[in-house]
Amino acid sequence: MEIALSIYHHSPFEGHARHCANIARELIRRGHTVRAYSMQWEGETPDNLRFVQVPVKSKVPEERNDFFNRWVTAHLQKFPVDCHVGFNKMPGLHVSLVTEGCYKAQVAETCTWVYKMSPTYKFWSACEEAVFGAQSKTRILLMSSAQRAIFANQFPAAVKRMHLLPPSVTSDRKATIESELYKMEFRRKQHVKPNGLVLLAVMTRFKRQGLERLIKAIAALPEDLKARVRLWVVGGDKPDDYVLQAAELGVADKMMFFGGRDDVPTFMQSADLLVHPAHQDMTATVLLEAMASGLPVLTTTTCGYAPLVKKANAGLVAPYPYSQDAFNALLVQALSTDERMEWGINALEFTDSRDIYSLAHKAADIIEGSVTPAG
């Protein structure tokens, strides 16, 4: 089969982009010819992938993405394929892998009717309607039960086209017998004291994933714990506002920003606790990545995989609605308890007994069966 993949921007630090690359590798391994459309592809390109860069000039997101959609559609008319797979919501797809939340639901909760008159709303709602609307035939790949429930509520006619994929954790996240040695050496290089407590935040969107909540919680720690704590932040977002916030709260010396990294497993296997206090994260695959590394977790109920943290007894989950005081108390509990080692063992046992590595394989199965024209 000839298969096209479309993604606005590929960055190796974005979850949906990693899914795109992994699915491309799996399809190529199966003998398919795979073509990828993107405005920009950062990071390694899978072997034998035919990359087509879309020449977009506008800096206005809606104008830029609309041009992308129209350009790809025109190119596919000239050079047709058997199946078109999108990693952003857009018209004309046979298959759409959706990692973000429901735009229609978010607008209904947070915006006035005035916003619905804007070009921004008209563009993004049209893209979502093209995938989930009653007239669409697009097969929809979703990442969590919570995400599926939200979309099903807004687009009930699309339920029969929805497919729930298993979590996607790459095998390099899995702890090995050498992990403890790596941990000691890496912590030494980062000047962590023997009694130090390292918090890890792996985030691509600092605001949405709650970095400000974590900084507040660190500032509120009792002095004995605060003296021992360090926060490692891994992710490519802009840190300026959070450096300023930490300075105002007197904890700037507790933080280190490492930017986007390819060696995330090293950080996970060297920290004491993953903290992910997201406002909303439809999947939060990072929770399962941490668990596969044997790293305990503190997170919020609004993360798609948070129920698995509870089920595995691999850490703590802050209840909904969010309370900063309650989260502060949970951080103190997580750092003070002797259960952290047990949580790590539970996390390893849970991930060893679950299918958390086959997303690309299952997605490729569905793509291979999706050769009828999209609506």
Summarize pLDDT for 146-157 with one digit per residue, the tens.
899 999 999 999
Say whether pLDDT at 373 is over 60.
Answer: no
Neighbours of 117 (CB within 10 A): 9
- In this predicted structure, what is the pLDDT of residue 137? 96
**Dist. CA 105–CA 252, nearest whole Å:** 37
Q: Edge to edge, what strands does the sheet with 50-53 contain?
A: 50-53, 33-38, 2-6, 83-86, 95-97, 139-142, 162-164
Say whether pLDDT at 28 is over 90.
Answer: yes
- What is the rounded (10 degree) CA torsion for 202, 338, 321, 326? -110
**Dist. CA 28–CA 354, nearest whole Å:** 26
At the topology level, CATH places domain 2-166+358-368 in Rossmann fold (3.40.50)
Name the average pLDDT for the chain: 93
**Dist. CA 350–CA 334, nearest whole Å:** 19
Which residue from 261, 303, 265 is spatially nearest to 175, judged by alpha carbons? 265
Residue 157 contacts by C-beta under 8 Å, 6 or more apart in sequence?
Answer: 133, 134
Which residue from 19, 23, 54 is spatially nearest to 3, judged by alpha carbons? 23
CATH of domain 171-352: 3.40.50.2000
CA distances from 149 to 19, 167, 345, 352 (A): 22, 17, 31, 27
Say whether pLDDT at 164 is over 80.
Answer: yes
Say whether pLDDT at 6 is over 90.
Answer: yes
- In this predicted structure, what is the pLDDT of residue 375? 45
- In this predicted structure, what is the pLDDT of residue 292? 92
Domain boundaries, the chain: 2-166+358-368, 171-352
Say whether pLDDT at 329 is over 70.
Answer: yes
Stated pTM of the model? 0.85
Residue type present at position 193 = K
Say whether pLDDT at 170 is over 80.
Answer: no
**Dist. CA 144–CA 149, nearest whole Å:** 9
Neighbours of 204 (CB within 10 A): 19
- In this predicted structure, what is the pLDDT of residue 374? 47
Give the pLDDT mean for 121-140.
97
Q: What is the pLDDT of residues 210-243, one digit of tens each?
A: 999 999 999 999 999 999 999 999 998 999 999 9
Asked if 2-166+358-368 and 171-352 have one fold, the answer is yes
Give the pLDDT mean for 20-30.
97
CA gyration radius, the chain: 21
Estimate to the nearest angstrom the gap between the alpha carbon of 299 and the chain centroid.
14
Region for 162 from its dihedrals, namely left if φ exceeds 0, alpha if ψ lies in -120 to 50, beta otherwise: beta
